[in-house]
Structure 1
């Protein structure tokens, strides 16, 4: 049976340091759905969500930014809000529909929760606030896909001053297994993007296949590119296990409230030189997260700010890691997988 591969999305970042940037983000979101056949009502909901989150950041937050990604395969647009503080002292009050500490078009976070199809938010003092909203075009009930057994949240950002990301990622769900590929093309910019996209093309040929064969296939296909660090990973929900292999500086963690294990691949670069791939396997504890990230994220990070989010939208975890541990000089990608409870 053919298994469909979902090619990962890339976010565009808007630093909300001026009211005009909110309008810029809103226009970008409108352009993203222009070719997706959205109704005026759905496009209007998206515009209000972007405006509310952006205005809230501009008025009340330090270092606020919006990240926006179109996800055509899911028929939706994702809007992520990130700031560096001061945090929301009473989140329950702030979430009440109609509550706003200033005059905004849709009266605050409660409106975002009502307008978006998915919405989750987390705030800490100190630390700041992260939120994720997704708006989907309305579809007939018989066209709505069945719920997946896993949730996957991810953020992929190009390096500063680059229009494309040298990182690429993809996933495929087959039965009770999900396979994920994360590739980091050497350097950044268009040539790095060519390498990572070649890796995704090779992965998509047989995403459910043996992981060692997958990495060997990637190595062959990337020999006409500058090469990439790669990690191919599989989560088997039925067996409660994680297996992975790869080469280069893609790293990750499997963590829960009582478990924390790093994922490290062998040295090498797909397309240039790798050793024979070896698979590492470990148990997947209950309520655990599986996290992969490129070297645009610091390798050493603590889990204190992650543990409160174990049962939340995995994109919030990606947002916290990006906010607190990005290197600010390279493409940065975080992919977070959790079993859907």
Structure 2
């Protein structure tokens, strides 16, 4: 995001996403300002800034994620006050974003950098009644225009279903494999057990190059996570006092897998569930996400994607947590 012209490009893309999500003129205008302010901040103040925009038509909202690698914000609360500036600007940027977005969250560490999540949604969208909150970040491999990874969540009350798929290789063919897996998942995510869902995905992906796939069912009331998977997708349950790894069996959905095995793992009350592809370093430090355990899960996903992306393949981090 080092070129100021990219801010205008991001704003035009945001307008397309606003239309796709059914935002009205006023809501689309708020989104345009959010994108402009965050993009301008990256250009003027950040190192290695990146702005991610995502349409969520099912929730009638557009998500904007700002990620940078420094220098970080020394006084976060002061930076959110109107009139505060470190670069000779009017200083209304982050304060305006917080006011105009329907959802806003920020995490900053000096000198490692800042992650901001802002969402603008339609006023017609009904209130979210789920007891769980989810977020994810996917980054395409260098030089690719599409990401070969894919992720999906289904939330209902205290229950959630999660799928993360990593198409073999990268580029359009890998993306096709992940898309097929997620379309299979979308048909009945909460009614189909993880083991059965993996078998269904395996059958559906036979016409593709195949994918590593992990399927999980999380139940906050029962305090359990059931999982099944094949290939290099992993999950961890992380809290301030616990760190438990959930592994997939060997194989590739669509090519060859053993009879799927399903495991059940206790879900500690304050732990977040983190599912990630092999584009993310396996042994990331659990303490990295402790400052954002009770925050928007997208913050944790973005921090891990920023700090532990291998930089040579598609990379995805998906995070699920209980709401307070």
Give TM-score, length-normalised by structure 2: 0.96
1:179 to 152, 161, 167: 161
* CA distance, structure 1, for counterparts of residue 245 and residue 279 of structure 2: 17
1:26 to 7, 11, 18: 11
Q: CA deviation at 1:97?
A: 3.0
Q: CA deviation at 1:175?
A: 4.1
Other-structure match for 1:278: 261
* CA distance, structure 2, for counterparts of residue 262 and residue 20 of structure 1: 43
1:69-95 Cα deviation digits (max 9, x unpaired): 111111111111111111111111101
* CA distance, structure 1, for counterparts of residue 3 and residue 203 of structure 2: 47
* CA distance, structure 2, for counterparts of residue 174 and residue 313 of structure 1: 18
Please state if 1:191 is matched with 2:195.
Answer: no
Range with bigger deviation, 18-27 or 240-249: 18-27
In structure 2, the residue corresponding to 1:304 is in which secondary structure? helix
Q: CA RMSD in A?
A: 1.5
Aligned positions, number: 323
* CA distance, structure 1, for counterparts of residue 199 and residue 150 of structure 2: 18
2:28 to 15, 22, 43: 43
* CA distance, structure 2, for counterparts of residue 202 and residue 86 of structure 1: 42
CA contact (8 A) 2:20 2:55 kept: no
CA contact (8 A) 1:123 1:129 kept: yes
In structure 1, the residue corresponding to 2:288 is in which secondary structure? coil
2:226 to 243, 249, 265: 243
Range with bigger deviation, 33-42 or 282-291: 33-42
1:111 to 92, 96, 101: 96
Q: Any stretches of 5+ residues in structure 1 without a counterpart? A: 1-15
Give TM-score, length-normalised by structure 1: 0.91
Other-structure match for 2:51: 66
1:163-204 Cα deviation digits (max 9, x unpaired): 222111212224421111111111111111111111112222
Q: How does 1:79-90 map to 2 (within 5 A)?
A: 79-90=64-75
Please state if 1:298 is matched with 2:281.
Answer: yes
Q: CA deviation at 1:106?
A: 7.5
Q: Any stretches of 5+ residues in structure 2 without a counterpart? A: none
1:301/1:224 Cα in 2 relative to 1: closer, same or farther (>3 Å)? same
1:331 to 307, 310, 314: 314
